[in-house]
Structure formats: C-alpha cells, structure tokens
A = this chain, B = another copy of it.
Amino acid sequence: MSIIKTVKELEAWSKNADRKTSTLGLIPTMGYLHEGHCSLIRAAKSENDLVVVSVFVNPTQFAPGEDFESYPRSIERDYKLAIEAGADVVFNPETEEVYVPGSSTFVEVTGEITRKLCGASRPTHFRGVTTVVNILFNIVQPDKAYFGQKDAQQAMIIKKMVRDLHMPVEVVVCPIVREADGLAMSSRNVYLSQEERKQALCLSGGLKKAWEYLNSGAEDSRSVKKLIEIIRNEIEGQSLAVIDYVMILDGETLEEIADIEPGKNALAAVAVKFGKTRLIDNRVLSVEAR
C-alpha cells in the first residue's frame, strides 16, 4: 500500500496501475477512520480492482468557529485501518494540493436539498463538500465512489451533483454502522464525555421509537407531526441534549411532508448538540403500498 501526499504522485501511481484495464473505487473521508469508513473500504474492495481512501480534512466545509482545527486526526491509525480493510492507496494531501493558490471555484447544488436539515444550521457546509468531492473525483477519477448513509443528506446531494453535472462516477451509499448499543459511528463521538456518550443513545433510540410507532397500526401512525413528537420526547428526556433539528422529509427531495405515504421513502433525521459536540443520525421510514 502507498501513502500518497501529492496530486502528481497520485497521477504517476494511476498511470502505473494501468487504470485503462482496472476499476477503481474511491472513499472520500476526513480521516480518523472508524468501522463505518472500514465498511465502505471493504465494499469498494469487493467491487473494484483498486481502492483509494482520501483522508483529507477539508477546510471549506467547516464554518468559522466550527471544529476544523480540533477535528480529530490520527494518520498512522488511519493507514493501518485502511490497509486492513483493503485500501491500495491512502491519499493524504496538504490543503494547497487540493486547493491551488488563488483557488476560487465552487460547485454548488442549490434548492431545498441543501437548504434543509444540516444546510439550515451550516449554510456553507455542503458547498464545501460538493466542491471537494468534485475535485477529488477529478484527481482520482474513480469508477465508483462510496459514501455512508450516516450522512444521508450529503449522499443525496452528491448523487444529485453527479447526475446534474453528468460526472462519470457511480455513487454507492452504504448502510449506517452502529456501536453495539445503537449509537451511529462518527469521528466526533470521541468528543463525548462518559455521561454524554450515554445520553447520546437518544438519537438512535428516538428514531427507533418512531419506526416502531409507524409500524404499530395506530390511527395516526403515519403522521409526521406525531412521529416527530415521539423523537423529540426521547431526546428532550436527556438533560445534556440540545436539539438542532428533528425532521421527517421526503426521502428524494427533502421537501416537507405531512404523512408517510405508503410506497414512498421518508427520511427521519436528527441533529443534537451535547456541549460543543454535534451529532447526527437518521432512519429511512417507509410503509408498504397496499
């Protein structure tokens, strides 16, 4: 396995690897890999000849005052985990390699899909994400790129960018990987105190309760208002939890809906702060069309 730090080296590796007869899977991450990332790397390995993991911590998706400086980094551990999961290359570039001096070009998906959920509380976040993913796609030129359902809105936005711009990449979205007790894996989980870690179960717990109620057969079981109430109650029961949002939206467009329509996917999504740590989780809600 190689550790590659520059675009030039990556291009040289790409030439040597004879990309013309081999397929390549890319996993864009911000490093500090956990089992969620590793599941993406394994999926990529099973579907491609070559696997590249990017661990670039992208400054443009953090707003001033967010945790860019303190974002957890652990390059040696990342290399080890990426190897074990099947990566051929870990791409760990400096900021100036990705954003050339004087860089001022942005790729932006507009509309409800970027304004809702995390887009509301982090207005420039997704522009940073789509720009860096676009750049990484151009540098690495993968056949397939792998993203986690944990960041459901991000995955939807990237799929839309790829479709709208006709990018020659297939976007693969893999299921959320959870701790044994249900907490969705996240690089930011290390920020949590012991008590916060306990209380953080209210995210997955609330989502699970909503899913159970949806399938309970109760008269108002498809009511978005009712389901949101169930999730909020679960989270508000925790003393350290501060809700950023609890929303249930159309699973394709992120437009607001009043009821879970049979045969259509809805996305129940939550963001909750524990002190300075902001956690997100989500669950696709659906009932079969009769």
**Which residues of A does B touch, CB under 8 Å?**
7, 20, 99-100, 103-111, 113, 130-131, 134-135, 138-139, 141, 160-161, 163-168
Contact = CB atoms under 8 A, between A and B. Distances in A.
Contacts of A166: 7, 100, 135, 138-139
Nearest to A97: B166
A104 B100 contact: no
Contacts of A160: 104-105
A20 B105 CA distance: 29
A110 B127 CA distance: 13
Contacts of A141: 168
Contacts of A135: 164-166
Nearest to A253: B102
A88 B168 CA distance: 22
Interface centre among A131, A160, A164, A168 (most CB of B within 10 A): A164
B105 A164 contact: yes
A138 B160 CA distance: 15
B107 A107 contact: yes
Nearest to A252: B102
Contact of A105 (B103, B107, B168): B107
A20 to B, nearest CB: 5
Given A104-B109, A104-B110, A138-B166, 14 more contacts: A20-B20, A99-B164, A103-B163, A104-B164, A105-B107, A105-B109, A105-B110, A105-B161, A106-B108, A106-B110, A107-B165, A108-B108, A135-B165, A139-B166
Q: Lowest 10 A-B CB distances belong to which pairs?
A: A105-B164, A138-B166, A104-B111, A103-B164, A104-B110, A105-B109, A20-B20, A139-B166, A105-B161, A138-B167
Contacts of A106: 107-108, 110
A166 B107 CA distance: 13
B165 A138 contact: yes
23 contacts: A7-B166, A100-B163, A100-B166, A104-B109, A104-B110, A104-B113, A105-B107, A105-B109, A105-B160, A105-B161, A105-B165, A106-B108, A107-B107, A107-B108, A107-B165, A108-B108, A134-B165, A135-B164, A135-B165, A135-B166, A138-B166, A138-B168, A141-B168
A20 B19 CA distance: 10
